[in-house]
A and B are shown apart, each in its own frame.
Chain A
Amino acid sequence: MTYSLTPAIQDYLEVIHDLSKHDSKVRITDIARKLNVAKSSVTEAIELLHAKNLVQKERYGPITLTRNGEREAAKLKYKHLLISKFLRDVLNVTADTAEKDACLIEHVVSVETMLALIQLLESKNYLDNDIDIEEVKILLSTNSLSNLAPGTKGTIKRVEATGELRRRLMEMGVTSGDDIQVKRVAPMGDPIEITVKGYNLTLRKNEAAAILIEIN
């Protein structure tokens, strides 16, 4: 994992995610209003998210989440949902407190704890049917290849790329279930080099973003 996002920064992700559902054009002003902070703080946070390849922005243009940004925001959303459900339904905490605590816990909870929590909720039939829990498990337990630091080893969980890129990746041996290792990042920061099926392959970060890896 290369992320070390502070809770505050994670909040920005969530807000952009929520705002973009109502209006595809999210602007600094909207975020500042929603979080009740100064515009300068927002700009700073966006720069940070941009550096981590989580948002896309054009000068004076709207802000959109990248594929990775969407994934991270979705992870937070599901963590929040499941934790508050656990607090309310299993521990019988009041709705208000559950909501507040979930807001805090979601930022620091580990994948292992989350998966155990899901198992508990599943076994007690607390889960609503409208959540595809298998998808949520994959979402929480994987990272996109473009986020992994050199040296990280893992297993390919899913190739989300489509069209020509998908076929090309799969035919070159990037198929689910295979072991993969991140070797290097090019001197300019992109593309990256990985080992798969015993040989070295390069691909750009935006191409790697469509490959989900479970870290070993």
Chain B
Amino acid sequence: MSVTKETKEISTDQVNAQTIALIGNPNAGKTTIFNALTGSRQHVGNWPGVTVEKKEGRLLADSKVHVIDLPGTYSLGAYSEDELIARNYILFENPDVVLDIIDSANIRRNLYLTVQLLEMNTNIVLALNMLDEAEAKGIEIDENTLAKILNVPVIKTIGTKNQGIEKLISSSIQALGQSREPLTVDYGQEIEDEILVLQKAITEHGELAQRYYPRWLAVKILEGEDVILNDIQKYPNIQTIFTLREKAVQHLNQVFAEDIQTIIIEKRYGLIEGVVKQTVKQKKDVQASVSLSDKIDNVVLNKTLGIPIFLLTMWAIFKFTFVIGDPLIGYVEMLFEWFGGIVGAMISNELLASLIVDGIIGGLGSIFVFIPPIFTLFFAISLLEDSGYMSRVAYIVDKFMRSLGLHGKSFIPLLIGFGCNVPAIMATRTLENKKDRMVTILVNPFMSCAARLPVYVLFAGALFPDNAGTVIFSLYILGIVMAIIMAKIFKKFLFPGEAAPFVMELPPYRVPTLKGMLIHMWEKGSSFVRKAGTIIFAVVVLIWVLATLPWGVEYASQDSFIGMFGSAISPVFAPLGFGSWEASAALIFGLLAKEVIVGTLGVIYGVGEEGLAVTITQMWTPLAAYSFMVLTLLYVPCVATIGAIKRETNSWKWTGFTIGYTLALGWIVAFIVYQGGTLLGLG
């Protein structure tokens, strides 16, 4: 599964390569088929300019053929990024074959996308996937008649059992060179007349016809889709088309009671009804019986049992991740320490040894310690996703999340944040709405991750020996409260607008395949290492340089640049109760990972981690310590999280914003805590 270096190869010989693009509704089994077609030869990246995942690979059977996995989508409109990407790819990149994966058990809705593809004049091969589920529901599909009506090849498949895949591949290869005249939707005399007029004008325009398939464009113009209307506005001599549009809309509004878009959608579904009548048979006795999925939902979504089961599942996922992940983190740390020790002993030049051991190996180590929790968390998440429970989680918590200004699907990423903010921020990808996703990312660092716990344990243990537990708990609560407040503020001022609708499919439960989950886990984990890893590595090396220079000073001492910088900025933290250079330097190191604060203080105070508690009791007041913990909770997230934010928002602006606002908020809250506490006589 470790083929990640294919990017270059793929882009260089793209000119004369043939391409098959995979498209289909979410939950139609597209990923399984993609894996079956490409095997392990796949590359995960992003579509240019957006954070939507782009997967490409090569056909196992013929490595000259590229396979592109388009985002899972229900339609090809222009409302979501996913839809636009899929549509623009088909419109402008002209894939040789579009392989449309259909959930046979849900054929009526799945065919909607197919009808839209037909309208774009694409060379379609239809895969009737999940045939086993359709049969279980008593649905029988006559694929030959379907192929004849639509005039496209139709292949029955069961992706999870690898059935029909070979035939699908051979049909796709066969279709590569061919062009067919697929079925056109008949919109009825009135609309067809207008389409014809517009189509003629588009063809005569020339330039427009080169960019768009004329009939498709004519329908879009009638539908009045903003993206298209704005785009064609740029062309010369476009006024005639807009005049024609106005006339057409006026005429159609007189004829029909409903708006044109509604009629067009209903006509598409009307065509589907006709096709389904001729090709699909439903066995009555099976239809009436309650499906297994329904029986599970009767328990899992039960009014009284639903929430306890949900809480239990979340707890189990969390437990699983850290029971498996934590020891692995320990092993990774040990491995890098051991390796650093060996390398350090081999190099006689002290500076070089420090660069390699503290800088490079330490830097790599700080990336690799994130791999165990990321891999285990994503394994757990793909289990939730592939089984179908993920949608149920969103459904159960939506009401609660909405009271916080968020979406049901924001819940999982926030929960994961308590483990580690990095996979948490990556998990926001399940949110389709960009605004909801941005808010969820921006407040995620306030979910107090596991790495902050050692800091709390040290300070609370040393200075609040009698109620350390309560103190630590209060910090978790403070983080949640801050997240809620900031989410409300961001929602109101930065990302205003209507709440994204909760019109969501509840797919039937499915048994996830181990292979599918492993591939999923590998993709997420490895993409983190590659993308976030570079940023983390750069910062780690930079901090090493600052802690080592100028030449000859002791590593991370007051005379090093870090020390000097710590001394310089320490007055900023004085009003918070800790104006020492040691505290400032520890906070700078805390950017690497928050638990590093503990180790740094150990080094700087020269007592090691063991003697630290005693030193802290002597040098810190409880109030200053609490203020320090508050700042540790809230201030700038660690570099790994910053890397993840940059990667997921695809914007330096929002990454910079997160750094800025968390620092400001952390300072303000710590200030209030310390000064307020002093005023109340708690200092």
Contacts and interface: CB of A to CB of B under 8 A. Distances in A.
Contact of B505 (A159, A166, A176, A201): A201
Interface string B496-521: 00000111111110000000000000
Contacts of B307: 187-188
Contact of B503 (A168, A175, A190): A168
A184 B297 contact: yes
A166 B501 CA distance: 10
A212 B106 CA distance: 24
Contacts of B391: 202
Nearest to B262: A170
A200 B505 contact: yes
A172 B106 contact: no
Interface string A191-206: 1010001111111100
Contacts of A201: 503-506
Given A187-B306, A193-B301, A198-B106, A172 B505 contact: yes
B261 interface: yes
A150 B77 CA distance: 32
Contacts of B501: 164-165, 168-169, 203-204, 207
Given A168-B79, A173-B269, A207-B502, A193 B395 contact: yes
B302 A187 contact: yes
Nearest to A150: B303
Max chain A CB contacts within 10 Å: which of B75, B105, B400?
A: B75
A191 B395 contact: yes
Nearest to B302: A187
B265 interface: yes
Given A173-B108, A186-B306, A197-B108, A191 B75 contact: no
Interface string B307-321: 100000000000000
B367 to A, nearest CB: 39
Contact of A165 (B106, B400, B503): B503
A189 B397 CA distance: 10
Contact of B108 (A186, A193, A198, A203): A198
Given A164-B501, A203-B502, A203-B503, A197 B398 contact: no
B628 interface: no
Contacts of B502: 191, 202-204, 207
Contacts of B137: 198
A171 B137 CA distance: 23
A164 B79 contact: yes
Contact of B399 (A172, A186, A200): A186
Given A164-B501, A191-B395, A203-B501, A172 B506 contact: no
Contact of A171 (B112, B301, B399, B408): B112
Interface string A146-183: 00000000000001000011111111110110000000
A168 B80 CA distance: 10
B506 A193 contact: yes
Nearest to B107: A198
B49 to A, nearest CB: 22
Contacts of A186: 301, 306, 395-396, 398-399
Interface residues on B, range: 35 or more
A184 B79 contact: no
B74 interface: yes
B504 A202 contact: yes
Given A187-B303, A203-B502, A204-B502, A173 B395 contact: no
B265 A167 contact: yes
Nearest to B264: A170
A198 B261 CA distance: 24
A124 to B, nearest CB: 27
B399 A188 contact: yes
Nearest to A178: B269
B348 to A, nearest CB: 66
Interface in B107-161: 108-109, 112, 137
Contacts of A187: 301-304, 306-307, 396
Contacts, number: 105
Contacts of A198: 105-106, 108-109, 137
B186 interface: no
Interface in B391-450: 391, 395-400, 402, 408
Interface string B54-65: 000000000000
A84 B75 CA distance: 50
Contacts of A184: 297, 301
Contacts of B399: 186, 188-191
Nearest to B75: A171
A168 B265 CA distance: 11
A173 B110 CA distance: 10
A114 B462 CA distance: 78
Contacts of B507: 200
Contact of A173 (B79, B112, B261, B297): B112
B246 interface: no
A73 B364 CA distance: 68
B266 interface: yes
Interface string A91-102: 000000000000
Contacts of A167: 77, 79, 261, 265
A190 B302 contact: no
Nearest to A188: B399
Contacts of B508: 200
Interface string B593-608: 0000000000000000
Nearest to B266: A175
A202 B108 contact: no
Interface string B157-193: 0000000000000000000000000000000000000
A216 to B, nearest CB: 16
Interface string B237-271: 00000000000000000000000011001100100
B282 to A, nearest CB: 9
Contacts of A207: 501-503
A182 B93 CA distance: 42
Nearest to A189: B399
B269 A175 contact: yes
Contacts of A185: 303
A3 B163 CA distance: 51
Contacts of A199: 105-106, 109, 505
A166 B304 CA distance: 33
A184 B506 CA distance: 12
Nearest to A187: B306
Interface in A8-53: none
Given A186-B395, A200-B505, A171 B106 contact: no
B398 A200 contact: no
Nearest to B265: A170
A152 to B, nearest CB: 16
B108 A172 contact: no
B660 to A, nearest CB: 32
Nearest to B293: A200
Contacts of B304: 187
Contacts of B297: 184
Max chain B CB contacts within 10 Å: which of A173, A186, A204?
A: A186
A173 B265 CA distance: 9
Nearest to B403: A188
Max chain A CB contacts within 10 Å: which of B106, B262, B505, B506?
A: B506
B647 to A, nearest CB: 28
Given A202-B504, A204-B501, 15 more contacts: A168-B79, A169-B503, A170-B266, A172-B109, A173-B269, A185-B303, A187-B302, A187-B304, A193-B301, A198-B137, A200-B508, A201-B504, A201-B506, A202-B395, A203-B503
The 7 A-B pairs at the shortest CB distance, nearest first, are namely A187-B306, A200-B506, A188-B399, A171-B75, A197-B108, A190-B399, A173-B109
6 contacts: A167-B77, A167-B79, A175-B266, A188-B397, A193-B506, A204-B398
Interface of B: 74-75, 77, 79, 105-106, 108-109, 112, 137, 261-262, 265-266, 269, 297, 301-304, 306-307, 391, 395-400, 402, 408, 501-508
